[in-house]
Amino acid sequence: MTPSTRDTEKAHLRASLRTARAALDPADRQDQSRALAGAVVEHLRSLPSAPSGTPRHGPTVAVYLGVDPEPDTAPLLQELHDLGFGVVVPICEPEYQLSWASWFPGVPLQRSVRAPVLEPTGKRFSFDEVPDVAVILVPALGVDGSGHRVGQGGGYYDRFLARYPLGAPGAVPRMGVVYRSEVLPAGTIPSEPYDQPLGGVFTPDGLLRFGTAGSSV
């Protein structure tokens, strides 16, 4: 498959996943978003590094601020904060780079100038400055059983994850977050040389691991 065939195929897949996501019943999306929060929290609480005792000072989770019709991450952000995890969310920078900002309840937000997403207005830092990240939760329109992902098409996460290759010392596990219907059979998503495979995906039913190096949370 030539690169342009792959791009066209991916663009079609992205369009059909967008249409299908938008067609999900809003009440179902809310139910699935609450279940997704439960699945992520259950997994994180089982980690040896999970916060315990007082004051609770746990590792950090890289999340994102879900925008309709994405899974609503608000319940997850709140729960992680309440449990004592640190939470950071991405900021779109020039040239499709991501920086990161702390999230906490009531943090002032503004719309990004680069993408239709919300971002904290406060201090932003590079991922290297975020200590002790337990997992990177990666937004996706769909994820297949080979760990390949289709995102919004900017290439922000591919560029970001490429800087922290799996297998490198201290590489952080990366897991997609999708609705139930968005887990696709292995091989469905055309992969590009720069695509960064995910170690697994959170759905409302729990964590599905792909058996790649990125799954060892």
Ligand X SMILES: Nc1ncnc2c1ncn2[C@@H]1O[C@H](COP(=O)(O)OP(=O)(O)OP(=O)(O)O)[C@@H](O)[C@H]1O
Which residue from 155, 171, 188, 212 is in contact with ligand X, where contact means CB under 6 A? 155
Q: Which amino acid is at 183?
A: V
Q: Which stretch binds ligand FFO (CB under 6 A): 20-28, 49-57, 124-132, 153-161?
A: 153-161
Specify the residue, 9 or 50, whose C-beta has the smaller distance to ligand FFO: 9
Question: Is residue 130 part of the contact set for ligand FFO (CB under 6 A)?
Answer: no
Contacts of ligand X in 43-102 (CB under 6 A): none
**Which residue type occupies 144?**
D
Q: How far is the CB of 172 from ligand FFO (least distance, A)?
A: 17
Q: Are 46 and 212 in contact (CB under 8 A)?
A: no
59 near ligand FFO (CB under 6 A):
no
The one segment of 19-27, 44-52, 63-71, 208-216 that binds ligand FFO by CB under 6 A: 63-71
- Spell out, one character per residue from 116 to 135, where the chain touches ligand X: x when CB under 6 A holds, - when not: --------------------
Q: What is the CA radius of gyration of the chain?
A: 16
User: Look-up: residue for tokens 């990366």?
Assistant: 174
**Does 156 sit near ligand FFO (CB under 6 A)?**
yes
Which one of ligand FFO, ligand X, none interacts with residue 90, CB within 5 to 8 A by kind? ligand FFO
Apex 83 CA angle, 30 and 201, nearest 5: 50
Interhelix angle for 26-45 vs 74-83, to 10°?
A: 20
Question: How many whole angstroms separate alpha carbon 4 and alpha carbon 64?
Answer: 30
User: Which two three-digit tokens encode residue 100?
Assistant: 């990161």
Tell me the two tokens of residue 1: 């498959």
Q: Least Å distance between CB 65 and ligand FFO?
A: 5
Cα dihedral sign, 160-166-171-173: positive
Q: Residues in the site for ligand X, rule: CB under 6 A?
A: 10, 150-159, 162, 192, 194-195
